[in-house]
Chains A and B, each alone.
Chain A
């Protein structure tokens, strides 16, 4: 098996705050990889660096054999992503958002016409295809984003907390579709979630990150064995502790905001 993602000694600092400190891991082609960690642990920052949205402070990232830092353009051909926070155009219709994506990713018309219909039916939005996204509820927007992320069948699919706020029905539909894609097209899936049950069920490999460092890696069974716990959730808690991290998470957000304001003032 070849590694489709290779991360070595990855560091990202914002000023003197170190969001990611010396992270290394590999994901094999066709693997379903869960990237877990408490709020503010560095998950999203790592994903942003892997998806060319942020430049790492140091370290190397390879995705599908391409150097993410020096060759972002080629890298972008190999992955798709469902972001944690919304990324739809509210003033376009659901269908227009899908079509925009399809054209940007160079799909041909026959293919995207069929796939948009299939995916929008999957997430139960086909009868609302001509409504403006602005009129959608939070859950509907989420479903549309997932459908959009699946549209171009990328080699690596990043899902940053994809199931947050979804009902169990939609969650199951979504995972069925993704597992099917994974089996049929060897699509590698890299996802984060706070639902340990989800990671336990679908992930071939799990990495747990905390305070910007990977603190454990392995299969769900290995992590449970390593910590001597019966469930992944207990294993996760015993590795990352019981303290609530919301404070710290907002600390990171505040820090970034301050840094940005300061940079803004300097200009």
Chain B
């Protein structure tokens, strides 16, 4: 237990110390909320969709978590390059525990980021429908954070330098975000796009968050929860396996 704690603590401490990173990573969600929220709001209302900000906010919260989580996982590449990873790899601690400790730390950081974005949405004008369900939303935030930190860890275990980072951002993280129903309703999408959304785990995060925060969802909360939990478990196992194969 102290081992998991110290691995977790390291991630959290590093996050809390990098104020520039925290502030910097708030720019993007804020931009999405203001530009899209207020920009598309009138059209969305005219089309009969209701309040666009209420629809968009859960998507932007999920975005904050997604980016921070993948990034936390990918940080392993930094540890590889700066050599710190070796220090943990030769320690008499199973690789599985190291991976779990790191992932929990990274996920905590992503949840913190998600909470900050949540506060931002409140400032911009978003209002959750039910305050008791906000707790359910926290569960979805944590699952999302865990899932994508594990994904980042799995990817980073196979990469040796940051050259592939741009590739991951453009061909994985961005599509995951845009093709998740974060910005638009998925009911009337063309079938190919609908299929892509359905196999995108972030779609279930957003649906869960939307269900908990605005009582509107496409799937059911249990479906969202089961799929996220299942995918998280699989990614944790894949991540742990790939992490255990790292050579320095």
Q: Report the minimum CB–CB distance from A107 to chain B (whole Å).
A: 10
Residue A224 at the chain B interface, CB threshold 8 Å:
no
CB-based contact A87/B91 at 8 Å: no
CB-based contact A53/B89 at 8 Å: yes
Q: Which residues of A pack against B, CB within 8 Å?
A: 48, 51-55, 73, 76-77, 79, 81, 83, 85-92, 96, 99-101, 103-106, 260, 264, 267
B-side contacts of A104, CB under 8 Å: 3, 6, 88, 91-93
- Which of B17, B158, B163, B247 lies in contact with A55, CB distance below 8 A? B247
- Which of B5, B18, B90 lies in contact with A81, CB distance below 8 A? B90
**Complex Cα distance A86/B86, Å?**
10
CB-based contact A76/B90 at 8 Å: yes
- Which of A48, A81, A264 lies in contact with B160, CB distance below 8 A? A264
CB-based contact B91/A76 at 8 Å: yes
Among B43-88, those with CB < 8 Å from A are 79, 82-88
29 inter-chain pairs at a CB distance below 8 angstroms, sorted by A residue, are A52-B90, A53-B89, A77-B92, A81-B90, A83-B83, A83-B87, A86-B82, A87-B82, A87-B84, A87-B85, A88-B84, A88-B87, A89-B79, A89-B82, A89-B87, A91-B17, A91-B18, A92-B14, A99-B6, A100-B6, A101-B87, A103-B3, A103-B6, A104-B91, A104-B93, A105-B92, A106-B3, A264-B163, A267-B158
Secondary structure call for the A interface: loop
Taking A53-B90, A104-B93 as given, write out 4 further A-B residue pairs in contact, using a Cβ cutoff of 8 Å, ordered by the A residue number. Answer: A52-B89, A79-B90, A92-B13, A103-B6
Count of chain B residues with a beta carbon within 8 Å of a chain A beta carbon: 30
Q: Are A54 and B91 CB-contacts (below 8 A) given A92-B10, A99-B6, A100-B10?
A: no
B-side contacts of A54, CB under 8 Å: 247-248
Q: Report the minimum CB–CB distance from B241 to chain A (whole Å).
A: 15
B-side contacts of A81, CB under 8 Å: 90
Q: Report the minimum CB–CB distance from A261 to chain B (whole Å).
A: 8
Q: Which residues of B pack against A, CB within 8 Å?
A: 2-3, 5-6, 10, 13-14, 17-18, 79, 82-94, 158-160, 163-164, 247-248
**Complex Cα distance A128/B87, Å?**
21
Q: Report the minimum CB–CB distance from A164 to chain B (whole Å).
A: 15
**Complex Cα distance A141/B164, Å?**
29
**Complex Cα distance A87/B83, Å?**
4
Sort A-B residue pairs by CB-CB distance and give the 5 closest, nearest first.
Answer: A87-B83, A104-B91, A76-B92, A77-B92, A53-B248
- Find the A residue at minimum CB distance from B248: A53
A-side contacts of B88, CB under 8 Å: 104
Q: Report the minimum CB–CB distance from A40 to chain B (whole Å).
A: 18
**Complex Cα distance A53/B246, Å?**
8
CB-based contact A86/B248 at 8 Å: no
A-side contacts of B82, CB under 8 Å: 86-87, 89-90
Q: Report the minimum CB–CB distance from B246 to chain A (whole Å).
A: 9
Q: Report the minimum CB–CB distance from A212 to chain B (whole Å).
A: 18
B-side contacts of A260, CB under 8 Å: 160
Q: Are A264 and B83 CB-contacts (below 8 A) given A53-B89, A89-B10, A100-B6?
A: no
**Complex Cα distance A137/B158, Å?**
32
CB-based contact A83/B86 at 8 Å: yes
A-side contacts of B87, CB under 8 Å: 83, 87-89, 101
**Complex Cα distance A53/B91, Å?**
11
Q: Report the minimum CB–CB distance from A55 to chain B (whole Å).
A: 7
Residue of B3, B85, B92, B94 contacting most chain A CB atoms (<10 Å): B92
CB-based contact B13/A96 at 8 Å: yes
- Find the B residue at minimum CB distance from A145: B87
B-side contacts of A79, CB under 8 Å: 90
B-side contacts of A105, CB under 8 Å: 91-92
CB-based contact A264/B159 at 8 Å: yes
CB-based contact A86/B247 at 8 Å: no
